[in-house]
């Protein structure tokens, strides 16, 4: 019976519910032996995909038993109390009858399952859940047979890099244009110190938000100007944050003359203090951190700039930065007609 494995799928202590999987040729037989459904009616002779039952395991703890897969081998999952002793009793009920405990992280399930516990938003969790159900693996196998399908996988590589780690959005610009006030307006609470004194912000202050379901680390930075001492150190930190940003919000003062904003990709220009001034620029957004005017539109524009092409439900997404890199490399290799390299890279994705 050593071909039948039992493994704990959920991290220890991470939640109130734990999941134990039993996979292999004897999985269903052992489930019928050890599990007692509520109401007394025994489990059917053969597993029925996606069926589930409430009952007790080994005449002890209450669990929900679900049929996770029937091919290429049977996999049943037991969902119950997440206490470590309860989980251990469930595992030992199967190992005492010949199962081998599989303790290798990720073995027998997609790595996306491990990432689900770290998903910061419902939207990214939904994408990861689609991958646990095999969306990415199926798409990779299809691309091995038909490399033309690589374009669809590469299309969502940017999203796959940020399903757990947030996009970095940096608020920058000259002193006293209302950068800290704007951060507070977007966050909905007083995250950054606001003062009329130039140079008040001397460090990079971050807060984690979600725009249209996409996780974002929003950074408030020191006003950029020539300075010395502690303020100069803050400005250097601001420049370092700008170098790693996925999107820069370059803030200017609509009520005063302001320098020309940087002409760079990944920069969204906006004029704050629109309640007391105005701008005729058509390439910039007008907002007021004080009144909130334009702030919802800014939040929507941030989401659109970061994810201009959101994956639809069920789409295959390379769900880690590493997988995204491999898919992009494979797509580039296909463009260069390096078919052997394409096949090698795609097989590595399936094995990951």
Q: What is the residue-wise DSSP string for 78-134? A: EEEE--HHHHHHHHHHHHTTTPEE--STTTTS-HHHHHHTT--SHHHHHHHHHHHTT
Q: Domain holding 291: CATH number?
A: 3.40.50.300
For the record, the structure tokens of 156 come out as 């969502």
132 and 215 part of one domain: no
More confident position, 196 or 96: 96
User: How sure is the predictor about 191, in pLDDT bands with cuts at 50, 70 and 90?
Assistant: low
Cross-strand pairs, 29: none
pLDDT for residue 325:
95
91 and 215 part of one domain: no
pLDDT for residue 27:
94
pLDDT for residue 18:
86
181 and 254 part of one domain: yes
Whether 293 is covered by a domain: the verdict is yes
135 and 184 part of one domain: no
Q: How far is CA 26 from CA 31, 97, 98, 220, 280, in A?
A: 9, 10, 10, 57, 73
Whether 252 is covered by a domain: the verdict is yes
Specify the number of domains making up the chain. 3
Average pLDDT over residues 240-264: 78
Cross-strand pairs, 22: 6, 76
pLDDT for residue 122:
92
343 and 217 part of one domain: no
Residue 268 reports pLDDT greater than 50:
yes
180 and 253 part of one domain: yes
The candidate with the shortest Cα–Cα distance to 204, out of 171, 246, 162, is 171
Q: How far is CA 213 from CA 15, 135, 159, in A?
A: 22, 20, 12
Residue 107 reports pLDDT greater than 60:
no
Q: What are the tens digits of pLDDT across the range 7-34?
A: 888 766 556 788 899 999 999 999 999 9
The pLDDT > 70 percentage for the chain reads 83
**Which domain covers residue 47, as residue numbers?**
5-109
Name the maximum alpha-carbon separation found in the chain: 80
Q: Can you tell me which residue has the tokens 């997404």?
A: 317
pLDDT for residue 315:
95
pLDDT for residue 182:
92
302 and 171 part of one domain: yes
Helices (H) and strands (E) in the chain, counts: 12, 13
Distance CA 68, CA 247 (A): 41
pLDDT for residue 206:
87
Q: Can you tell me which residue has the tokens 């524009």?
A: 301
Whether 80 is covered by a domain: the verdict is yes
The candidate with the shortest Cα–Cα distance to 300, out of 186, 162, 163, is 186
85 and 179 part of one domain: no
Average pLDDT over residues 67-86: 88
Helical pair 295-306 and 179-187, crossing angle rounded to 10 deg = 80
Distance CA 5, CA 22 (A): 6
pTM of the model: 0.67
The pLDDT > 90 percentage for the chain reads 52
Distance CA 244, CA 170 (A): 9
Residue 108 reports pLDDT greater than 50:
no
Angle, CA 22 vertex, CA 17 and CA 27 arms, to 5°: 140
* Run of H or E residues at 52: strand 52-57
pLDDT for residue 13:
57
Whether 313 is covered by a domain: the verdict is no
102 and 20 part of one domain: yes
For the record, the structure tokens of 23 come out as 């996979």
pLDDT for residue 158:
96
R_g over Cα of the chain? 26
Average pLDDT over residues 320-335: 95
177 and 300 part of one domain: yes
Cross-strand pairs, 226: none
User: How sure is the predictor about 193, in pLDDT bands with cuts at 50, 70 and 90?
Assistant: very low
250 and 327 part of one domain: no
Distance CA 321, CA 253 (A): 37
- Buried/exposed 302-338: b ≥16 CB within 10 Å, e otherwise: bbebbbeebbeeebbbbbbeebbebbbebbebbeeee
Whether 235 is covered by a domain: the verdict is yes
């Amino acid at each position: 019976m050593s071909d039948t494995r039992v493994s704990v799928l959920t991290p220890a202590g991470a939640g109130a519910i734990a999941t134990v999987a039993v996979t292999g040729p004897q999985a269903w037989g052992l489930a019928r032996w050890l599990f007692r459904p509520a109401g007394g009616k025994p489990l059917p002779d053969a597993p029925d995909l996606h069926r589930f039952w409430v009952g007790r395991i080994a005449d002890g703890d209450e669990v929900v038993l679900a049929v996770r897969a029937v091919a290429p081998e049977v996999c049943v999952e037991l969902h119950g109390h997440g206490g470590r002793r309860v989980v251990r009793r469930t595992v030992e009920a199967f190992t005492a009858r010949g199962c081998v405990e599989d303790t290798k992280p990720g073995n027998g399930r997609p790595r996306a399952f491990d990432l689900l516990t770290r998903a910061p938003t419902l939207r990214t969790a939904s994408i990861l859940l689609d991958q646990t159900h095999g969306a990415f693996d199926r798409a990779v196998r299809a691309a091995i047979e038909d490399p033309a399908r690589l374009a669809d996988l590469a299309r969502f590589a940017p999203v796959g890099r940020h399903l757990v780690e947030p996009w970095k959005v940096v608020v920058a610009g000259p002193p006293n244009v209302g950068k800290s006030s704007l951060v507070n307006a977007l966050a909905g609470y007083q995250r950054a110190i606001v003062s009329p004194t130039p140079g008040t912000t001397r460090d990079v202050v971050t807060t984690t938000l979600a725009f249209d379901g996409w996780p974002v680390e929003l950074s408030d930075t020191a006003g950029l100007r020539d300075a010395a001492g502690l303020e100069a150190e803050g400005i250097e930190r601001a420049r370092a944050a700008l170098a790693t940003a996925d999107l820069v919000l370059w803030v200017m003062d609509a009520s005063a003359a302001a320098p020309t904003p940087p002409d760079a990709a990944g920069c969204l220009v906006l004029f704050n203090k629109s309640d007391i001034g105005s701008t005729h620029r058509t390439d910039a957004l007008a907002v007021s951190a004080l009144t909130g005017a334009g702030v919802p539109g800014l939040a929507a524009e941030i989401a659109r700039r970061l994810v201009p092409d959101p994956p639809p439900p069920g789409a295959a997404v390379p769900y880690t930065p590493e997988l995204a890199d491999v898919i992009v490399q494979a797509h580039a290799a296909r463009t260069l007609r390096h078919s052997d390299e394409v096949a090698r890279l795609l097989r590595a994705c399936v094995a990951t």
